[in-house]
Chain A
Amino acid sequence: MSVLSAGQTQGSKRRHNLKMADRKAGFGLLAPAGIVILAVTIFPIVYSIIMSFNNISLTTNGFAFQSNGINNYKTVFGSPVFWHSAWFTVYYAVVTVFVELFFGLLIALAINNVKKLQGLSISIMLIPWALITVISAQMWDYIYNGVYGVLNAVAESLHLIGQPVTWLGQNTSAVIAMMVADIWKTTPFVVIILLSGLQMIAQDYYEAARIDGANSWQLFWKVTFPLLRGSIALAGLFRILQAFGVFDLPFVLTQGGPGTATESLAILGYRTLFEDLHFGVGAAVAVSTVILILLACLIFLAGFRSMVEEEAA
Chain B
Amino acid sequence: MIQPRWQKILGYVVLIAFLLAILFPFYWMFITSFKQDKEISAYPPQYWPTNPTLSNYREAFVQYGFDHYMLNSVIVAVLTTFFVLFFASMAGFSIARLPIPWKKPILIFLLIISVFPPIAVITPLYMLLRDVGWLNSYQALVIPYTAFNLPFSIWILRNYFLQVPGALFESAKIDGSSVFQAYYKIFLPLTRPGLFSAAVFTFVAAWTEFFMALVFNSSNSMRTIPVGIALFSGQFNVPYGTIFAGSVVSIVPIMILVVIFRKWIVSGLTQGAVKG
**In the complex the two chains form, is A266's CB within 8 Å of B211's CB?**
yes
Stretch of B25-33, B53-61, B191-199 with 4 or more beta carbons under 8 angstroms from chain A: B25-33
Interface string of B84-119 (1 = CB under 8 A from A): 001110110111001111000010001001011111
**In the complex the two chains form, is A25's CB within 8 Å of B262's CB?**
no
- Answer yes or no: A70 CB below 8 A from chain B CBs: no
Chain B residues with Cβ below 8 Å from A231 are 270, 273
**In the complex the two chains form, is B117's CB within 8 Å of A138's CB?**
no
Selected contact of B42 from candidates A29, A148, A152, CB within 8 Å? A148
Selected contact of A26 from candidates B44, B98, B266, B276, CB within 8 Å? B98
Instruction: State the Cβ distance, B238 to closest chain A Cβ, in Å.
Output: 7
Selected contact of B11 from candidates A114, A119, A127, CB within 8 Å? A114
Chain B residues with Cβ below 8 Å from A128 are 22
Within 8 A of A (CB), among B1-39: 1, 3, 7-8, 10-12, 14-15, 18-19, 21-23, 25-26, 28-29, 32
Instruction: State the Cβ distance, A114 to closest chain B Cβ, in Å.
Output: 4
**In the complex the two chains form, is A290's CB within 8 Å of B251's CB?**
no
Selected contact of B28 from candidates A125, A139, A152, A251, CB within 8 Å? A139
- Answer yes or no: A92 CB below 8 A from chain B CBs: no
Q: A113-B7, A114-B11, A124-B22 are in contact. Are A245 and B119 (CB under 8 A)?
A: yes
- Answer yes or no: A51 CB below 8 A from chain B CBs: yes
Chain A residues with Cβ below 8 Å from B204 are 129-130
Within 8 A of B (CB), among A185-232: 188, 191-193, 196-197, 200, 203, 206-207, 210, 230-231
In whole angstroms, how far apart are the Cα atoms of A157 and B41 in the complex?
A: 18
- Answer yes or no: A1 CB below 8 A from chain B CBs: no
Chain A residues with Cβ below 8 Å from B146 are 36, 40
- Answer yes or no: B208 CB below 8 A from chain A CBs: yes
**In the complex the two chains form, is A29's CB within 8 Å of B94's CB?**
yes
**In the complex the two chains form, is B123's CB within 8 Å of A184's CB?**
no
- Answer yes or no: A297 CB below 8 A from chain B CBs: yes
In whole angstroms, how far apart are the Cα atoms of A65 and B229 in the complex?
A: 36
**In the complex the two chains form, is A123's CB within 8 Å of B258's CB?**
yes
Chain B residues with Cβ below 8 Å from A55 are none
Residue of B at shortest CB range from A38? B147
Chain B residues with Cβ below 8 Å from A25 are 94, 98, 178-180
In whole angstroms, how far apart are the Cα atoms of A294 and B111 in the complex?
A: 12
**In the complex the two chains form, is A138's CB within 8 Å of B244's CB?**
yes
Selected contact of A44 from candidates B101, B115, B120, CB within 8 Å? B120
Instruction: State the Cβ distance, A89 to closest chain B Cβ, in Å.
Output: 11
Chain B residues with Cβ below 8 Å from A86 are none
In whole angstroms, how far apart are the Cα atoms of A137 and B229 in the complex?
A: 10
**In the complex the two chains form, is A273's CB within 8 Å of B238's CB?**
no
Instruction: State the Cβ distance, A219 to closest chain B Cβ, in Å.
Output: 10
- Answer yes or no: A143 CB below 8 A from chain B CBs: yes
Chain B residues with Cβ below 8 Å from A230 are 273-274, 276
Chain A residues with Cβ below 8 Å from B121 are 40-41, 44-45, 48
**In the complex the two chains form, is A36's CB within 8 Å of B226's CB?**
no
Instruction: State the Cβ distance, B233 to closest chain A Cβ, in Å.
Output: 10
**In the complex the two chains form, is B262's CB within 8 Å of A153's CB?**
no
In whole angstroms, how far apart are the Cα atoms of A203 and B1 in the complex?
A: 8
**In the complex the two chains form, is A124's CB within 8 Å of B119's CB?**
no
- Answer yes or no: A100 CB below 8 A from chain B CBs: no
Selected contact of B150 from candidates A37, A132, A269, CB within 8 Å? A37
Q: List 22 A-B contacts (CB under 8 A).
A: A25-B94, A25-B98, A27-B100, A29-B179, A36-B147, A40-B147, A51-B123, A110-B11, A110-B15, A111-B14, A119-B262, A124-B19, A127-B26, A140-B25, A143-B28, A150-B28, A152-B43, A157-B44, A196-B270, A207-B1, A266-B119, A279-B123
Binding site for A on B (CB under 8 A): 1, 3, 7-8, 10-12, 14-15, 18-19, 21-23, 25-26, 28-29, 32, 40-45, 86-88, 90-91, 93-95, 98-101, 106, 110, 113, 115-128, 131, 143-144, 146-148, 150-151, 154, 178-180, 183, 204, 207-208, 210-211, 214-215, 225-227, 229-230, 232, 238, 240, 243-244, 247, 250-251, 254-255, 257-259, 262, 265-266, 269-270, 272-274, 276
Q: Which 4 A-B pairs have the closest CB atoms?
A: A26-B98, A40-B147, A245-B117, A44-B121
